[in-house]
Amino acid sequence: MAIHSSADVTQEELEQRAHLCASQGEVLKAVELACQLLSLAPTRPYLTWASEWLTPEAIKSIGLPSLWPCIIPMVKLGLSLPPQADRGDARLVNVEAAAGIVGRIRGIFSEDAQLYIEEAMLLRRVGDLDATLAVASLAAERFPQMWPCQTTLMHALADAGRFDEALVHAQLAIALAPENGSPLHDVAVALARAGRTAQAKDLLGHLCARYPGYPLSDEARMALG
């Protein structure tokens, strides 16, 4: 059965429109349609199509402000998967394509810190630890005063098992945003998952002392015992 949009246009018709727009040089419209289709059928390779259409020349011509509304559904799809998602998840074809698209855009509009953060998030879902670490490291290096860049690198380091370095960047993030205890919480949970329960418990104790009433996840509560 065909999937219908809110305007009662079939999925197949939207696919045809997207390809027609791309063939006529209306790349932004084609990508917008691909993102609309993504919400209807996230396992179909719509972002693979978009990746083919979004050449560096097209990206430069369209400009970042017009591209952000297309990036948002790519990010939303990525966030619907856990880090290092199961390779059997059919949505990964689009998440991988999204990572490539955002990386290509980031390479052109390299002064936008959010692009680094979103690319690293998507790469983390795909499970490409080396690429995630490379992009996250670049983000923290280029934008050291932005705490989300520090936490992006923190997560990448924790995924790689480099917990001491992850904790350093958690502390840097907290120094930049003292009201935010999530970096300590997330490193502690990563330690617990790695079987380093004593270290996780110590860190969570510090978290609870510094941020009374902080909402602990189930994993954090289990680590505390």
Give the model confidence (pLDDT) of 15-29 as tens digits.
Answer: 999 999 999 999 999
Which tens digit of pLDDT belongs to each residue from 161-204? 999 999 999 999 999 999 999 999 999 999 999 999 999 999 99
Q: Do domains 9-127 and 141-225 have the same CATH topology?
A: yes
CATH, range 141-225: 1.25.40.10
pTM here? 0.91
Q: Where are the domains of the chain?
A: 9-127, 141-225
Residues 124 and 102: beta-carbon distance below 8 Å:
no
Alpha-carbon radius of gyration of the chain:
20
| Cα–Cα distance, 64 to 31 (Å, whole number) | 14
User: DSSP code of 180?
Assistant: -
Fold adopted by 9-127? 1.25.40
